[in-house]
Amino acid sequence: MDLNFTDEQKAFRAEVRSFLEQKLPKRLSDKVRLGQRLTKDDYEEWHAILNERGWLAGNWPKEHGGAGWNAVERHIFEEETTAAHAPRIVPFGLAMLGPVLQKFGSKEQQEYWLPRILNGDDWWCQGYSEPGAGSDLASVKTTAVRDGDHYVVNGQKTWTTLGQHANMIFCLVRTSKEGKPQEGISFLLVDMNDPGVTVRPIVLIDGEAEVNEVFFDNVRVPAENLVGEENKGWTYAKYLLTHERTNIAGVGFANAGLANLKRIASLEQSNGRPLIEDPLFAAQIAEVEIALMAMATTNLRVVSAAAAGQAPGAESSMLKIKGTVLRQEINALTKQAVGPYAMPFVSEALEAGSNVGPVGPDYAMSATPHYLNNRKLSIYGGSNEVQKTIIAKAILEL
């Protein structure tokens, strides 16, 4: 048992930190710190900066142009970037599709698509959920019917995050109605500029339209865009879920959120004293902090095991639940800390560069939108109820 990072890991942390000091544009970190909205250009700018350094795809092996980091190195990178208020790396191409192509894609697919992901030539989005297939993902109904050297796709996907920016979507589609529902699903890459694809934004209760519905009406997709074998898509989707989840706890986000909460609580006054000195409020912050300290170690235990080559099992689900609930609690406490100034909803102020300023202190403007928006954390990526069922199945062996 040794809770310390190795000298190499410490040196790596220092290297990441110094890179961020030099290369992370203040314009971007200010936006992230204030919770303002990031544009497509913002994300692409940050991706390009990381790609130039060879750090955009930390989880990819070097042969595919990735950094080839192990899970501990990825964890350190994540901690440093979130602490520095760097934009998040948009995960769809880099964290999700990339590893699937590397494991199950053809040589041609790898050679064509992987460099395009790194260079930002394509913006990918995820076509998994459907109106009737949420927690019960295996019941997807979008069909792909083989017609010569094409598939003809019909159906609807939903909750497609940042789909408004995307030109490509990777989809779970039904290619067979035989056998169990899981056995008739294929993994297909669809060009969103093809005729028959329609994107409709969904406005969420924080006023933002970051998710979309995507409709497919007789969309003709070249058969070469099938990843792996027909009807094996469920296996690939599950691979993605079990192997790409070391960051699922969101420790970095939680730490950054906690630091922000403490800063706000030290600036807000209650009864003539800083709010952070109110014993009841301080106790609530402390409870979160104590839980986060333990979760960070749980996360490192899982990360270390993953770095040693073990595939995480139910631990992923535990981290997903604990991590999302803690982040939501931090959001709720931040909204609370802001007090009455959490009530104004001035959407324009969340756009950097707009001439509409925030009402009240600048740290107040994103408290309520973030609180509302992050209710999604316990819903997406397999709801926390689904995760609990996975854990229960693993331990009860029923």
User: Which residues here bind other proteins, judged by CB under 8 A?
Assistant: 129, 132, 134-136, 139, 158-159, 202-205, 207, 211, 268-272, 275, 278-281, 284, 328, 332, 335-336, 338-346, 359-360, 368, 371-373, 375-376, 378-380, 383-385, 388-389
Question: Of 219 and 330, which has the nearer Cβ to other proteins?
Answer: 330
Q: Which of 73, 210, 244, 329 is catalytic?
A: 244
Question: Of 206 and 244, which has the nearer Cβ to other proteins?
Answer: 206
Q: Enumerate the β-bridge partners of residue 215.
A: 156, 198
Find all residues with CB under 8 Å of 25, minimum gap 6, and list them: 45, 46, 49
CA dihedral sign of residues 225, 228, 232, 233: negative
Shortest distance in whole angstroms from residue 159 CB to other proteins: 5
| 92 secondary structure, DSSP code | I
Only one residue has tokens 């099938």, namely 226
Per the structure block, which two tokens stand in for 96?
A: 């999700």
Shortest distance in whole angstroms from residue 280 CB to other proteins: 5
Shortest distance in whole angstroms from residue 333 CB to other proteins: 9
Question: Of 240 and 364, which has the nearer Cβ to other proteins?
Answer: 364
Question: Of 191 and 208, which has the nearer Cβ to other proteins?
Answer: 208
Shortest distance in whole angstroms from residue 184 CB to other proteins: 16
d(CA 21, CA 23): 6
Question: Of 158 and 246, which has the nearer Cβ to other proteins?
Answer: 158
124-151: b or e for each residue (b if 16 or more CB lie within 10 Å)? bbbbbbbeebbeebeebebbbeeeeebb
Nearest by Cα to 43 from 3, 4, 87: 87
Nearest by Cα to 220 from 244, 190, 200, 242: 190
Question: Of 268 and 315, which has the nearer Cβ to other proteins?
Answer: 268
208 is catalytic: no
d(CA 210, CA 222): 29
Shortest distance in whole angstroms from residue 376 CB to other proteins: 6
Shortest distance in whole angstroms from residue 36 CB to other proteins: 17
H/E/C letters for each residue in 18-85?
A: HHHHHHCCHHHHHHHHHCCCCCHHHHHHHHHHHHHHCCCCCCCCHHHCCCCCCHHHHHHHHHHHHHCC
Ramachandran sector of residue 382 (left: φ over 0; alpha: ψ -120 to 50; beta: rest): left
Only one residue has tokens 């003539």, namely 272
d(CA 34, CA 45): 19
Catalytic residues: 244
